[in-house]
Structure 1
Amino acid sequence: MNNFADDGGNSASGAGSAQDSIGIVVDIAGSGSQIRLDAARLGSLQNHADPSISMSGQVGSQVKMVVGRNWLIANVRTMRASDDGHIVAHIDFLGEGTRDGTGKMTNFRRGVTRYPVPGCEVLPVSTEDLRSVFAASDEPHIEIGTVYPTDDIRGALYVDPMLSKHFAILGSTGTGKSTSVALVLHRISQLSPEGHIVMIDPHGEYSAAFKGCGELFNVDNLQLPYWLLNFEEHCEVLLTTDGAERQRDADILAKCLLAARTKSKTAEQYGKVTVDSPIPYLLTDLNTIIVGEMGKLDRAGDSTPYARLKNKLDELKADPRYSFMFSGMMVSDTMGSFLAKLFRLPANGRPISIVDVSGVPSDVTSVVVSVLARMVFDYAIWSRTEAQRPILLVCEEAHRYVPKDESAKGQAVRKILERIAKEGRKYGVSLGLITQRPSDLAEGVLSQCGTIISMRLNNDRDQACVRAAMPEGARGFLDAIPALRNRECIVCGEGVAIPIRVRFDDLEAEKRPASSDPSFAALWRETGGEEGIIQRTVKRWRGHGR
């Protein structure tokens, strides 16, 4: 079993030295097995013209074996030197393809029906083999880059499996994550120009990337009606207390809010109205009801909760930063037009809405995201009897909104995003989570993502978190995450036939987000005009301060 075929020997394919045995199988254990490789043979292939063959036997490369009429493809996960001068490698089986009469591989599919036996020869995988493995089927797909280590094999993502079971794009700051997200969304938009995509953009990066094919919303034109908030979201905005006091304030708000909604003319069309019903009501009505309830009290001390609510309401109405939501003019029933505009119904060739929340006051940002996410989910539920219009919700900086810390503020947004992750696929809602800190995401949310696109992650906890969320067969690829270059990624899960390492395509300058890092060395050489810069900055700062 320690002997390997000679370079000109009868290997499984008989195609010369590049296709001769480089080792043998020594241990079979389900998805993870061991092979013994010939170090000298691997060394002789390192200068091979075929880049895939030259990579043979290295961590992250693929090898193949003959089992019956099939080729078995496996990924090399780890390597170590053995006492007899050979190399022992752990492998993960990826799938199998049919071996035709000439020894070529066709019809590759994920999964293994028959395993090899110890002593079975191990051969290098050629670029031609990889072409068969990664050949895109007729299913709708997008091409995002080139499969490593080849120069021309295209990496494809299958759109339906990727979106129906959610996806996550992960990567440390500076790895090209924002540009890669823009690339994926541009390709999806090109494939489906009548699609429906809503993206939450917390830093205002993506407006520049999608101004040609999307609708852009910010605090100046979002016009998010305050009455769309449900009771929990009202509480997060209006209540300022904690503990027992908060519960008392919440009870009072529930009573007054229900009265205000019921007083609305729109409420007359519907039988039962609750505090959560998205029924338009006047802020002046809510204010009047609070004052009226306060006037019924016998003791002055009992009026404190009412005064707190009234003061907070007055503060929101008076503060221009909140005018995008709490404008007194927004009392007409604009729900239908708001949903049509936000969800791109119809899309008219502009399938993506970029919602820039960078200008939203920080204390209500999570509430705004909560409302937008809940609108997506509730629309999907209540439109089940209609012609289906699936919606993709993409959430940048997802760890802000679904944090691991359950005591953090903003529980409304956490609940709705967790619910979409668990139940969204039943109703045609897809979730795309983008984060640089997957270890800070709530437990289980990442594991709900059927496809994970991971760029370089520098933090050990983040790497461990991604590894735990992925199937065992992808481990060899995931071990390469710390070594990825910028604009490179590992893709695992439902959206690909097998795990792949991909170099992202370059994106045209006009389609890139405004996220490039400043050059300190270059910009620190520039001088002049500082006085005007400061004056204009202070003016904007004072006029729109958050």
Structure 2
Amino acid sequence: MSEVGVIGRVTSVQSTTLRVSLEVGAKGFTKVGPDGLHTVGVVNSYITVPAGAHRVVAIVTGVSISRHVEKYDRQVLLSEDDQSAYELEAAVVGRFEGEAFKSGLTGYPPLHAPVRSATPREVKNIFLPRDVPALRLGTSAVAAEQDVFLDANLLLGHHCAVVGSTGSGKSCTVMAILDGLLDKPIPNGHIVIFDINGEYAQSFSSATPRGRATRTIVLGPQLGSSEGLFLPHWFMNNEENLALLRAGEGVQAPVLQRSIADARAVSSSTQQDVTKLQVIQSAMTVIEQLFGNSNNSEQPTERQLLSMREVVAGQASIDGPCHSQWTEMLRLIDQAGQSAQLSTQKWSLLTAKQKDILSELFQNLRTQISGAFAVLGMGSAEAAPDFDAPVHYSLQQLCDFFLPNRIQIEQANDNKIAGYVATLQMRLSRLLADGRYDFMTRVENHHDPLGSYLRLLMGADPTQATSDPDWPAANLYAKQAETHDEGPSVTIFDLSLVASDVLENVTALLGRILFDFAVRSDPRAAHPVLLVLEEAHRFIPARRDSSGVGTRSTAVFERIAKEGRKFGLSLLLASQRPSELSETVVAQCGTVIAHRLTHEADQTLLRHATALSSRALLDQLPGLAQQHALVTGVSTGVPAAVRIRDVADPPKSNDPNFLRTWSDASKLDELPSHIDRIVAGWQGNSEEQVTETEGDDLI
């Protein structure tokens, strides 16, 4: 092989690390080759070395000079260069087979093999994937004229993590990746963004080219049905319900499961039966309380019994699923009424015989009521409904009726059940009283709720273009969809106002819905989705202890990370603290884009999660400049130091200018009204209320 362009010789081969001794002509760190002047010995540049039929490619990770003194027969004057040895250290990253670059090794170079700097053409072949869709991430930090590309399918198919300290450029890198995807003709693209800081809405506003090129819907930041940021509680599956209410496994979990199954089983057609049965149960309780009335019990008992008969007779006249039970209850009430011979005389008390007759009546009525519940799909221990079915039910009715009813049924087998479940009832009551959860617990039922929600997530019209839709956020969607033309769908969940202890339940449920949709899709991956998680450590915390903190959300996204690829669900994570992320999720990310990281724990996690050949590069992490990153993984041919491309209309994550703002004296006059607006939104007041308050202040 010709020696033209040789810069040195291999002096050591250890696993994926090569040491190279530079030749005399290369010690100036530039060398003339057949295709021009080459830079030699610069960290992050590339070299090639012959290895059998191929050429090994390595990235320079270190340079050094060692002083040496040779013995001469006579004393001579030596220059500094004559007394120094110049060496490179490089990590092997792949090979050239002819002109095609391929990752991995098939052989190692021998000692003393000639080493060359990679030519511009070779560098281009390294960075530009052949015959595959590629997105431009930025330019090489060493060769500014060379663009760095990522294999789009490998990037999406194997998940991607963007990490770096605050202010290092993570959000702009995420946007650069999205822009690279949007550069492609992808009208059927689907992107869902969990935006915890409220940064992305401005980047996709209708006034920006990016917003005009996509079908973007922004949900939030205000919580509630009209703002679009709502999540019906009945979408939760069994595990999510148990986690939300922290139901104990022994007694509370089975009782809650059966109670929710009872509530789901009651459709709109059978709701009237359930309500009437509840009324009869309440009336019996009222009469039983009259047994102990020492002043007047016979007259109110007669009145209650007559009203019960009227309700039962009305239901018995309807041909419904519980017709036989209502008919038998009517017969029992008429029979007991004749036997008890109640009068309307005031101040009279129930006799012992009357109490006995009524007690027997109530026992028989409760038997019929239990039978009616069984017919309706409630209360039967043998029934086995799908606990995970996303069927509407009222959480308030669960608290007021279905849970107490289930407790009463179970009391027949264990009279301590009520005590065991008391704390669960208290937690459910507190959940309903907690206004932060209203966007989940107070959502009204509407037509096709699950279908509408999935259409929203996937960029389709949740109202199905109906003239009078009952979808809660129909007005919001209509307003934002006015500017929609064509292009991929982008759905942004602005979660900036969601309380921290509520956030886990929201993100876990949204992530699980997307995953279940992907799993159930046939054919598989017919509509792939990219899920972007900003500040991912908030959604996918590492499981450090047995307290259960973050367990549910972490479990959901770990499953997506491990199984989502084959179903067409990809993750794009951004985090400033990768060490606080689930290690399982980080390890499943095939591409890692690392900005400046100064914390040792963060660097250690990345070293464990990246390929051996890339670990030497990670020593550079503490010193990386803003907008610069190290890229490793399956979507790039080689590990690379990259300057991320500039993005227009970046996310709202820039640092505030303290001194300029503090120097503006006019802002002092705006401060009171600014505080009023914040407090009004914080306390849930409307703008009209704020305006009225300001008017009162003026008066």
TM-score category by the smaller chain? 0.7 to 0.9
- Output the CA distance in 2 between the equivalents of 1:69 and 1:294: 77
**Equivalent residue for 1:161?**
154
Residue 532 (structure 1) aligned with residue 634 (structure 2): no
Q: How does 1:400-479 map to 2 (within 5 A)?
A: 400-404=538-542, 405-407=544-546, 408-479=548-619
Write out per-residue CA displacement over residues 205-248 of structure 1, whole angstroms, 9 at most, x where no aligned residue.
11211231322112321331110011222233334x7xxx6754
- Change over 3 Å in CA distance of 1:329–1:196 after alignment to 2: same
- Output the CA distance in 1 between the equivalents of 2:137 and 2:3: 33
Q: Which runs of 5+ in 1 are unaligned?
A: 1-10, 100-105
**Equivalent residue for 1:206?**
200
Give the drift of 1:320. 4.1
- In structure 1, the residue corresponding to 2:144 is in which secondary structure? coil
Residue 229 (structure 1) aligned with residue 236 (structure 2): yes
- Change over 3 Å in CA distance of 1:343–1:162 after alignment to 2: same
Q: How does 1:194-343 map to 2 (within 5 A)?
A: 194-211=188-205, 212=211, 213=214, 214-218=216-220, 219=223, 220-239=227-246, 247-264=250-267, 273-287=385-399, 288-294=401-407, 303=418, 306=421, 308-330=423-445, 332-343=447-458
- Output the CA distance in 2 between the equivalents of 1:379 and 1:266: 28
* Aligned with residue 372 of structure 1, among 497, 506, 510: 510
Give the drift of 1:169. 0.8
Write out per-residue CA displacement over residues 401-455 of structure 1, whole angstroms, 9 at most, x where no aligned residue.
3222243423211111111111112222212222111111223321111111111
Question: What amino acid maps onto 1:261 in structure 2?
Answer: R
Contact in 2 for aligned 1:216/1:354 (Cα 8 Å): yes
- Output the CA distance in 1 between the equivalents of 2:541 and 2:250: 24
Contact in 2 for aligned 1:200/1:356 (Cα 8 Å): yes
**Equivalent residue for 1:93?**
92
- Output the CA distance in 1 between the equivalents of 2:155 and 2:256: 42
- Change over 3 Å in CA distance of 1:466–1:323 after alignment to 2: same
Residue 150 (structure 1) aligned with residue 153 (structure 2): no
Q: What is the identity percentage for the equivalent residue pairs of Structure 1 and Structure 2?
A: 32
Q: Which runs of 5+ in 2 are unaligned?
A: 69-83, 206-210, 271-375, 378-382, 462-483, 687-699
Give the drift of 1:507. 0.9
Higher relative contact order (CA 8 A, sep 6+): 2
Contact in 1 for aligned 2:595/2:629 (Cα 8 Å): yes
Give the drift of 1:387. 7.0
* Aligned with residue 7 of structure 2, among 10, 14, 22: 22
Q: Once structures 1 and 2 are overlaid, which stretch shifts more, 200-209 or 395-404?
A: 395-404
Give the drift of 1:303. 3.6
Contact in 2 for aligned 1:399/1:437 (Cα 8 Å): yes
Give the drift of 1:513. 0.9
Contact in 1 for aligned 2:537/2:575 (Cα 8 Å): yes
- Change over 3 Å in CA distance of 1:113–1:410 after alignment to 2: closer
Contact in 2 for aligned 1:52/1:125 (Cα 8 Å): no
- In structure 2, the residue corresponding to 1:24 is in which secondary structure? strand
- In structure 1, the residue corresponding to 2:596 is in which secondary structure? coil
Write out per-residue CA displacement over residues 486-533 of structure 1, whole angstroms, 9 at most, x where no aligned residue.
111111111111111111111112xx1111110112111122222222
Contact in 1 for aligned 2:518/2:525 (Cα 8 Å): no
RMSD across aligned positions (CA): 3.1
- In structure 1, the residue corresponding to 2:14 is in which secondary structure? coil
- Change over 3 Å in CA distance of 1:544–1:188 after alignment to 2: farther
Contact in 2 for aligned 1:52/1:149 (Cα 8 Å): no
* Aligned with residue 41 of structure 2, among 43, 57, 62: 57
Contact in 2 for aligned 1:77/1:475 (Cα 8 Å): no
- Change over 3 Å in CA distance of 1:341–1:160 after alignment to 2: same
Residue 133 (structure 1) aligned with residue 132 (structure 2): no
Residue 74 (structure 1) aligned with residue 58 (structure 2): yes
Contact in 1 for aligned 2:44/2:142 (Cα 8 Å): no
| Structure with more of its chain in helix, by fraction | 2
- In structure 1, the residue corresponding to 2:95 is in which secondary structure? strand
The count of aligned residue pairs is 515
- Output the CA distance in 1 between the equivalents of 2:648 and 2:488: 18
- In structure 1, the residue corresponding to 2:92 is in which secondary structure? strand
Give the drift of 1:534. 2.1
- Change over 3 Å in CA distance of 1:197–1:177 after alignment to 2: same
- Change over 3 Å in CA distance of 1:203–1:246 after alignment to 2: farther
- Output the CA distance in 2 between the equivalents of 1:67 and 1:248: 67
- Output the CA distance in 2 between the equivalents of 1:96 and 1:421: 30
- Output the CA distance in 2 between the equivalents of 1:492 and 1:387: 26
**Equivalent residue for 1:117?**
110
